[in-house]
Structure 1
């Protein structure tokens, strides 16, 4: 017999998913301890659990999964074949419809008068303090994507408008924004370029002290020089998402946290395993989740299964991403801003509203 934890490990289904499928009557444990309530599974149920995990990854509806498992256990191969073929046809129709919608969206984007981000042909020059630009890049670098399928996110957006430079990075699951004061651009046109991550890292290596850092954008080429040192290269020829729209969040509940103690609580506290899903170009990735709760007295705690069920709505985020955001915040105290459970969690500096990161929440299975 396998415990629910062993079954989760061997089958690819999370513990919460196994509990859900038990309640739904899809995969019922062979025995449940009447005293402790612990679920136990027979050896032959492992094959069914692995099949269930595959069907779920393929997006099959629960009603059909129940029939497939019934046909599988009774060796009714005709029924299983029919259900699989029917689901495959649904997926193919859905893909065809999605391609049509995306074709329409591309046409609409091509005709927009104001594209989200454009590489400018005019030469633009601006100057910032090296220390301030270094701090801004450090605050956002962690959020840049490594997904080869989304090359437009494989860099940092430099958005120059008036006397302000915003640097922005995102991988869809998190976004980081920082703001730097610049001179020299004045009333010039807003200029946006996507600087590839390797060039961003080369620029960061030049920045030290309080010397001026001069940034020049000439068509699709960007150059940063600090005295007698220079880093230059081609910008990415892609459009970047409209970050201003994405970070325009409704006001939420703000909680000031002591970063060293909160980091320790996150590192050593309880975690939940996410459901396996695509993340940053990887299929079927499962990762550790930190579940946070805000109590009535305005404190935030790291919650485990069943902890604090009456103490606020839980918000689950990728633990590694949360630790990255706390480190990038570069303060001993940071503000966590909670909206509703489906709203992003914002990590803000209490003394600098223009630098912050947001983390997308992860839906918890019952």
Structure 2
């Protein structure tokens, strides 16, 4: 048996920490002297104290430590691995946030970033994401298009939480990496501006976003909000296995969706029309009705019908590729052999 001081020295936990874990029922000493209240720990408990000390050093909360101590070997390893994944996710988030902070610090010294690219390319990028801009007044950060300029190009993103559209194009970028939310009114003015066969320069800073061409300028004030991290959606799409892919003719699929059986889903008291998709035996896309959907949920993906039609239209004419990865994964729509632009539609459960 070891005293509390000896256990502290052997485990790396302080005496006060051992007393804390005793009071919390995490690591109760094997014996407490009834006369003087001294705590005594067995050798297995010293090993447990070392384990507690290590788990605390890596930031595991007390509830997690209790779960590890009470688990068998296999389950304990699983709990530790799950905590490691949380730490890795947190580190990735911290790196992204620190990158944004570095960009803000750079912006204080060099307040302007310019992006030069063809106006036809820029307009096409904005056209491909405009349909996904949010309109919920309680989510004002989604009422615009994110313009994310990095060293080798620019990415535009729009989302309303139920769908997301992403388009990246190479461009000449001068200045620090920056992210701004362009008001949808600025986006629409730029899309509607006549003539697309010229170079356009985007001027990006915290107080103004502008686009300038030959004899014209369109300016506005960026929305002063933080935008959701769209990179998580990209990471989840590219790292969680290989989805099933089916080539489709955009016009033909739009026609089939328009004439498909009506599937209605009630959400929060409102009826929404859905389209239910599956990859058929021949590798094409099947559009099925409500009965087939409920009978084979694991083989189908249900999405908002209007959102699907808008995403197909934004994808352009000709061939598209639909990526399906089960009933709970987003449906991805992109052009063949072109991963610069795609849309993600959140699935609906029956």
Q: Distance in 1 between matches of 2:132 and 2:234?
A: 14
**Secondary structure of the structure 2 residue equivalent to 1:287:** strand
**Unaligned 5+ residue runs, structure 1?**
1-107, 278-283
Partner of 1:332: 318
The C-alpha deviation readout for 1:242-272, integer Å capped at 9, x for no partner, is: 1011222133011000111111000110121
C-alpha deviation, 1:312, in angstroms: 6.9
Taking the aligned partners of 1:333 and 1:285, their CA distance within structure 2 comes to 34
Q: Distance in 2 between matches of 1:310 and 1:295?
A: 13
Aligned to 2:330: 344
Partner of 2:166: 177
Measured on the aligned residues, the alpha-carbon RMSD in Å equals 2.5
Conservation of the 8 A alpha-carbon contact between 2:300 and 2:326:
no
TM-score (norm 2): 0.66
**1:199 counterpart (183, 186, 192):** 186
Q: What does residue 221 of structure 1 align with?
A: 208
The corresponding residue for 1:236 is 223
Say if 1:156 and 1:167, in contact at 8 Å, map to a contact too: yes
Q: Is the contact between residue 116 and residue 239 of structure 1 (CA under 8 Å) also seen in structure 2?
A: no
Partner of 1:35: none
**Change over 3 Å in CA distance of 1:118–1:184 after alignment to 2:** closer
Question: Whose RCO is larger (CA < 8 A, sep 6+)?
Answer: 1
Moved more, 292-301 or 237-246: 292-301
1:190 to 157, 177, 197: 177
Q: Deviations over 1:73-113 (max 9, x none)?
A: xxxxxxxxxxxxxxxxxxxxxxxxxxxxxxxxxxx99xx64
Matched, 1:306 2:297: no
- 2:232 is equivalent to residue 245 of structure 1: yes
Number of aligned residues? 249
Q: CA deviation at 1:351?
A: 3.8
- Superposition pairs of residues 259-270 of structure 1, within 5 angstroms: 259-270=250-261
For the 8 Å contact 1:117–1:192, the answer to whether it is kept is no
Greater fraction helix = 2
Equivalent of residue 208 in structure 1, options 178, 192, 195: 195
Return 136-145 or 304-313, whichever deviates more: 304-313
Contact persistence 1:211–1:226 (CA under 8 A): yes
**Matches of 2:299 and 2:244 in 1, distance apart?**
12
Q: Which residue of 2 aligns with 1:94?
A: none
Q: Measure the CA separation in 2 of the matches of 1:115 and 1:160.
A: 12
Scaled by the length of structure 1, what TM-score is found? 0.64
1:288 to 252, 273, 276: 273
What is the CA–CA distance in structure 2 between the aligned matches of 1:327 and 1:276, rounded to whole Å? 25
How far apart, in 2, do the equivalents of 1:311 and 1:245 lie? 26
Pick closer, same or farther for the CA change 1:305–1:313 going to 2, 3 Å: same
Structure 2 gaps, min length 5: 1-92
Distance, in Å, in 1 between the alignment partners of 2:291 and 2:264 is 15
Q: Which has the larger radius of gyration?
A: 2
Query: What displacement does 1:311 show?
Result: 10
Of 287, 292, 309, which residue of structure 2 is paired with 1:323? 309
